Every structure is written in C-alpha cells, then in structure tokens.
Structure 1
Amino acid sequence: MKKTLSLTLAALLSIGLLSGCTKKTEENKNLRFGILPAESAIPIIVAKEKGFFEKEGVNVDITTFNSPNDRNIAVQANKLDGIIADTMTALSLNEGGFKMKITSDINEDFKLLTSPKSGIDSFEKLNNKKVSIVPNFVLEYIMDEMAKKNNIKYETVVIPSFQARFEALLSNKIDGVIFTEPQATLLASQGAKVLATSKEYKLKAGTILFNNNVLSKQPNTVKNFYKAYNEAVEYINKTDAKEYGTVLTKYTFPDAIVPYLSANGKTYEKAQEISSDTFKNVLEWTKGKNMIKKDYKFEDVSDFKFIK
C-alpha cells in the first residue's frame, strides 16, 4: 500500500513538474508597438489590419504618437515593447538605462521643404533661416548633414507636433522643415518647395527597436512579427492603395493618404539591416550633441537575427 501510494505521489509530482516546465517555455505572443503617423509605419499597420500578424500567431497592439518625445516617454514608462525610431534614439535610450536594440531598418525618405512664400529655392538662400526640426532625433541629423555639405547654418525652431509643424510651414511662420512622407508630398501639393531629400544625400538613420527583455524572452514572437511585416510589404507592392489606405486614418494619418499612395507608386522594401557606416556616422553625431558619453559598439545596440 505504501509502495503504491509512493508511486502515485511520484507520478503526480512528475506530471506537475512537466506541466510547470511547459508553462515556463510557453512564449508570450503579445507585443505593444509604438509608431508615428509616417510612411515607415504603413507595413506595420497593414500587417495588423489585414491579419498578417494574426496569421503568424502574434498579437500586436499599436499606439500612435504625434511626437518622438511622447513615444520615448512611453518607452521609459515600460508601456511599449517595440517602436519605430532611429539610431540616435537607440543610443540615447541605452545611455539612460533603457535597453533596446536595433533589429532592422525602416522604409524612409525625409525631405527638406521651404515655405510657399519664402522664395527659398537653394541652400544658399536657406542660410541662417528658420528651420523646424525635433532636436536630438533623425530630423536634426539629416538637417545638420545637409547644412554641413552645403556650408550653411540655420536657426532651429522646435515644433514637436506633426500637425503644428505642417501648419507653420504653410503659413510661412518658418522658412523650412524636414518631413517624411506622406506629409512632405502633401506640403508640396500646397505650394511648399522640396529642396532636397535624404535619399539624394544617402542619409539613413531610421530603425525598428525592440526591448532587450522581449528579444530574449520572445524571440519567436519577434521573428513572426517580421514575417508578417514582410508579408505586408509584398501585399502593399501588389495591391491598389484603395484596398488598404483608408484604414490608415485610424492611426492619425491625413485623409489625403489614399490619393498620395495611389499617385506615388512607391515600391516598399522588406526589413533589412542598417549598415555599420550608418551606425558610425550617427554615433559620431550623437556624441557630438552630448547625448551620450559611452563609446558604443555596433553589436552593443543591434541584433539582426530576427529578420533572417
């Protein structure tokens, strides 16, 4: 009797241990993701709204922010697992103790525009004029690089909100602004002049970042996030924008997003690594702005295995 009871208890204990092990290895499939209403977010929104995330077994909760500062506050409050951001944000967050890694690039093309009535159609005319950027982020980096290559200076006007910057340029309260799409094309359609683009200057700094804890505890979830992201890119490239564009307004995109996408005909790219040269250039710039003091290595703040 005692022997039978002992065997029964042992069996139950074994089942309990095995059950416990199973629970420990079960991966959390939920991700909290932060975006800005810019072109780089479109594949993520499409992946959500068209069911690609669900197909890959990932539940992504998307939050839209109107400024990168608000997004970073949410990161620091541990309200986000991943974000669309830039290389300098990865460095400054790590410097502040908020460990995140660059896991891929984004689809980006930033444009420098001048106000409709400014008459500014060259960098020479932009010299010492008022340009609105958001300090310490990719907008300032791109403007600094363009200014340096054209040997000009500019006066910084800080307007964090997308909409407020948009309106300030059109009302000629500022002389220039750096914007991504679709806002840049919408501004140009209302009289603003495109002076230069980040692609022309071969400037890239945009990234997707994920929290280090998420990368270590939910690696398959992040991999599946990227599978869905790339499926969304394929879908966008072969689908009329009318089939998916209207849903973008739920994420604070302007109503004109569908006409823009239809007329643009842009080919989106799947997630890729950022180059070591990009990292080095942004690292030097970030240190020059006194945003960081540590000398980070590329591998300290990047991990691209999730897109392979």
Structure 2
Amino acid sequence: MLRKVIVLFVAMMMLIVTGCGGDKKETAPQKQGQLQALTIGLMPDVDSIPFIIAQEKGFFKEEGLTVTLKPFKSAMERDSALQSGNLDGAVSDMLAETFAKAGGFDTKITSLTTGSYKMVAGKNETAASIQELKGKDVAISKNTIIDYVTDRIATEGGLSANAINKVVIPQIPARLEMLQNGKIAAATLPEPMATVAIKNGAKLINSSDKLGINPGVMLFTTKAVTEKEKELQAMYRAYNKAIDYLAKEPMENYIDLVIEKAGFPKDVKGTLVLPNYKKAMAPEQKDVDDVVNWLFTRQLIQSKYTYSDLVDNRFIRQ
C-alpha cells in the first residue's frame, strides 16, 4: 500500500513539474518577441527633427522600441560610423547610398526625409544671383547632397558646375562660420543653418525647395534591414506620430528642446521655418535616377544602379 502511495505521489509531482515547464515555454515567445534596440545617426538639419520629437515625446517607447540617437557634424563622420557598424541607420542622402553600394558596403534606402538645402551669399558679398557668383568661392561638402544641390543650382542658373570655385568645408558649423566671417563668397547649407545665415544678413541665391528636389533619405545597413524588420516598422510608426505632432503643435512648445538636442544655434529661435513634413514614404524613381546619372556623368561611380538596387520600401507600406 505504501509503495502505491509513493508511486502516486511521484506521478503527481512529475505532473506539477511538467505543468511549470509548460508555463515557461508559453512565456518564451514573449521574450523572443521583444524588439531589439536601434542606433540612428543624425545630422544638424531639419531632417532629424522628427526623430528627436519621437524620442523626447516617448513615441518610440510607445512602440516598445529603444532608440539611441547619435549626432554628427559632417557626412564623412556619419558614413564612417555607419560603415564601422556603430549605427543601424542614419539620416542621409541618395548620394551616400550610391557611394556605399559602389564601395561594396551594403545599405538600403528605406524612406525619404524632409529637408531643405539653400545656397546663400555672404552679407558683404555683392552677388545676388548664381550668375554673379561665377568664379567666386562657394563652400560645400564634396560628393554629398550639398555638392549635388550646388550643381543643380548652377545648372538651373545657366552655369556649368565648374564655373564657380567650390571650396570643400565638410563640417556644417565651420562652413557657416566661414560664410559669416566673410572668408567665402557663398555656401550651400542645410536648414536651419541657412536660416541663421540669412538672419545675420546673408542673401538667398536658390534652394532645393525651389528646384523641387529632395535627395534626403533614411539609410539602414543590410544587416539591420534583414534582422530588424519589426524594429524598423515600429520606428516608422513612431516617426509618423512625430509628424502628426509637428503638424499640430506650435513650434514654441518644442523649439528649445530641438535646439538643445539637435545642436542648432540659438539664433534659429523665432526665425526658423520648418518644412512641410510628410509621413514616411519611398523616394520617387526619377529623383533616384537623377542622382545616379549625376554621379555616373561625373565618373564617381562605374555602374548605373537601378531603383531596386538602392531602395527597400517594405517598412513604410501602409
């Protein structure tokens, strides 16, 4: 009799242990379903503002996502961090994506960003048009979106790309400082640095807005695109929440926060005009083709890449 009791007791204990084991298995998928963190590089321009808002207003957190935002002052520093594996993605441009592809570093454009790039002449410069800047020093960052916009402005104004003397100043704050100190005749700057220059007396020559071009994009490494699909989808949901916030919230309610987090000059307060931010969308094929053709014509790339070579829009489909 005692033996039967012992056997029954052991059998009951096994059932209890098995039941506990079943509970653990049920919680395992929840742990596996937790989102991985993302690290994103930002530039000191208005393209980065929606990411700052999404971070500071808790929209990433609402989506169960942890995001680290890292600021950079030049495209070269940003691209180096991306290629060394220190970033999952970055606010970037179509040129950077094409160069990465040509260099064997696999990244993908996942969406457009909303930016604005302006060529401005210094306050003491007599030139008021691109034609009057012929032969004069214009500060740029070489082989970047700034270089591309500068060429487009020159062409639109009836000049060849080499009709102006391009001075390479990679860091955006240094470019602004040299313009304001009269060291160069003009500079092509992203917003809000262009707004600061104009506030301090610089004259607008032309802009990407007037030309109807927008080569600014989000780039992510192929590793991130492959291994963090849910994370990117969550990121874009938070991004779109930030766009809704920016559309309805008065700027005075967040401008101090943006100035602090983006590293903008305090001069932008009261003068900055933000672009008409749009929710995440894929770039137009024509815009991608125009950039590829510009790079190919200048012999900066050896092959003409297709839209599908450079763009993966599956994370932003509604």
Distance 2:86 2:274 in 1: 35
Match of 1:210 in 2: 220
> Partner letter of residue 129 of structure 1?
K
> Partner letter of residue 138 of structure 2?
V
Distance 2:313 2:90 in 1: 15
Q: Does 1:174 align with 2:174?
A: no
Q: Does 1:250 align with 2:257?
A: no
Match of 1:42 in 2: 49
Which of 195, 214, 219 is the equivalent residue of 1:185?
195
**1:27, distance to aligned residue in structure 2 (A):** 5.4
Match of 1:241 in 2: 251
Aligned residue pairs, count: 299
Match of 1:56 in 2: 63
**For the aligned residues, what is the CA RMSD?**
2.3
CA contact (8 A) 2:43 2:71 kept: yes
Whose Rg is larger?
Answer: 2
CA contact (8 A) 1:81 1:210 kept: yes
The normalised TM-score by structure 2 is 0.87
C-alpha spacing 1:133/1:21, structure 2 compared with 1 (3 Å): same
Q: What does residue range 1-308 of structure 1 map to in structure 2 within 5 Å?
A: 22=29, 26=33, 28-152=35-159, 153-248=163-258, 249-261=260-272, 264=273, 266-308=275-317
> Partner letter of residue 286 of structure 1?
L
Over the matched positions of the two proteins, sequence identity in percent amounts to 29
Unaligned runs of at least 5 residues, structure 1: none
Unaligned runs of at least 5 residues, structure 2: 1-6
Distance 2:240 2:31 in 1: 30
What do the CA deviations read for 1:118-143 (whole angstroms, capped 9, x no partner)?
10111221111111111110000011
CA contact (8 A) 1:113 1:178 kept: yes
**1:22, distance to aligned residue in structure 2 (A):** 3.9
Match of 2:4 in 1: none
C-alpha spacing 1:27/1:265, structure 2 compared with 1 (3 Å): closer
C-alpha spacing 1:287/1:20, structure 2 compared with 1 (3 Å): farther
The normalised TM-score by structure 1 is 0.90
> Partner letter of residue 98 of structure 2?
L
Distance 1:118 1:39 in 2: 26
C-alpha spacing 1:27/1:282, structure 2 compared with 1 (3 Å): farther
Q: Give SS of 2:165's match.
A: strand
